Amino acid sequence: MPARRGAADSEARDLAKVSLHHEGDRLIVGLGGTWQMSGLLPGTTAVEAALDGPAAPGGVHFDSAAIEGWDSSVLTFLMRVEDAAEDRSIPVDRAGLPDGVRRLVELARAVPERGTRTEESRGSPLTRVGRFGMSVYDGALDELEFLGEAARAFGRFLQGKARYRKSDLRLLIQQAGADALGIASLVSLLFGLILAFVGAVQLQQFGAAIYVADLVGVGMVRDMAAFMTAIIVAGRSGAAYAAQIGTMKVTE
């Protein structure tokens, strides 16, 4: 029994807690305990009641000195408190929050709302045409900038001035070359079978079935080789590079 009671007391101390008190015209929202999605989390009812009290506070401040641990649950609580204060035109000061929490809240607030983007997309037909033209113009500039940067980087590479790790370059060459041999062989085999089947049916009518091998060889070298290269570069290597770069950007 004492062991169970001690465990219960420890669990109660670790629960997320919210305390409210006033300092002048400011409402201080104190955060304590461990904030976890798996635990019992306090709501914002008490905070909203304090905001709607007879003496409305002039600002909301946070005190997180008693927080022992947190995850995304504390962000949800803070966002709800800020939304409630914003609805009542009460300013919120995030100076008392941990640095990590404050940065995440600021990042969440920096994302534009969906409704705002929808309203901006509306307008007269002439306005939509103008926006479309500007988007095409901006896209063309981005493409030209990308081509210019790629040309400069390739020029530095040829001059020996590029900074890169040779091990990474060898790995990329292996992934785009030797590792692509399997899919290249499979696609080549399938295209060759299709050409042989289609060509044999037609050439047999003229008694020229002997030229099926020539048709497959010439067709694969002259036409299908470029098509296969495009499929492999765009559908395999290009997609892998794009996914890797996207992961790097998200991590950054």
Q: How far apart (Å, rounded) are the C-alpha atoms in residues 19 and 26?
A: 14
Indicate the pTM of the whole model: 0.43
Ranges of each domain in the chain:
9-111, 119-157, 164-251
Q: What is the pLDDT of residues 73-123, one digit of tens each?
A: 888 889 899 988 888 888 988 888 888 888 888 888 776 555 445 555 567
Q: What is the pLDDT of residues 181-235, one digit of tens each?
A: 888 888 888 888 888 888 888 888 888 888 888 888 888 888 888 877 787 777 7
Length of the chain: 252
Which is the CATH superfamily of the domain at 9-111? STAS domain (3.30.750.24)
Q: Strand order in 26-34's β-sheet? A: 17-23, 26-34, 59-69, 92-93
Instruction: Give the residue from 16, 24, 26 showing the smallest Cα distance to 50.
Output: 26
User: What is the maximal distance between C-alpha atoms in the chain?
Assistant: 102
Q: How far apart (Å, rounded) are the C-alpha atoms in residues 72 and 87?
A: 23
Count other C-beta atoms under 10 Å from residue 48's C-beta.
16
